[in-house]
Chain A
Amino acid sequence: MAKAEREKEEIHVPGTMALVFIFFAWFATFYFLAWWVLSGAWVIR
């Protein structure tokens, strides 16, 4: 199969790409926020 033809066959979902990266940004923000909150707690081991 020629390269151009294969690309045409590939499914393009730009909207979904935008949505999942918004989701990823949200996930990472709250994940690291939890670590930041923890760093204010008493020292414990």
Chain B
Amino acid sequence: MSLKVPERVWWKPLGWQEKVWVTVSLVWCLVLFLMMPLWMAVGKQNNPTETYRVSPARFLETASALIEKYKVGEEKGIPIIRPPRGSDVYLVARMWQWNPILELKKGETYRLHVSSLDLQHGLSIQPLNMNFQVLPGYDYVLTLTPTQAGEYSVICNEYCLIGHHNMTGKIIVRE
């Protein structure tokens, strides 16, 4: 009984049913591991790793210059930019806005830099449901290829104080 001291020698061989289950479990646990490197080799969605140190001021400066250069309009005072195909794109997270609105082209690959100017934020693209952590001081580069056209919302899914539920942005993908 589990509440009592066991008999002196409890190191005993397993029965066949236990052996079957332990074997199945062990193989399954190996499959769980192998799927990750396998998907890295053949899958098309892999977690971005490219990261640079950047000060919030420097990141904002770079992003502002690109906004200036590629701005094609505005919505609710937020600039809309149309960056060249395959270029470096900057998305700034701050309390409580994603800036700018991005207009991308379907099937083109962009290097999307994200960083925060203040607290931690969560980049969440909806209804696609792709989610990434955004930290101040880290320039996180997502090499991203939109595969469907349409309008996508960007929300923040890392709590960032009282205005958290007002922090939205937008990505437009054109055919």
Contacts and interface: CB of A to CB of B under 8 A. Distances in A.
B157 interface: no
A22 interface: no
Contacts of A11: 15, 17
Given A35-B39, A43-B144, A44-B130, A13 B17 contact: yes
A44 B129 CA distance: 13
Interface in A24-45: 24, 27-28, 31, 35, 38-39, 41-45
Contacts, number: 55
15 contacts: A12-B15, A24-B24, A27-B28, A38-B45, A39-B43, A41-B45, A41-B129, A42-B128, A42-B147, A42-B148, A44-B44, A44-B46, A44-B48, A44-B142, A45-B143
- What 5 pairs across the A-B complex have the smallest Cβ distances? A43-B145, A10-B15, A43-B44, A45-B46, A45-B143
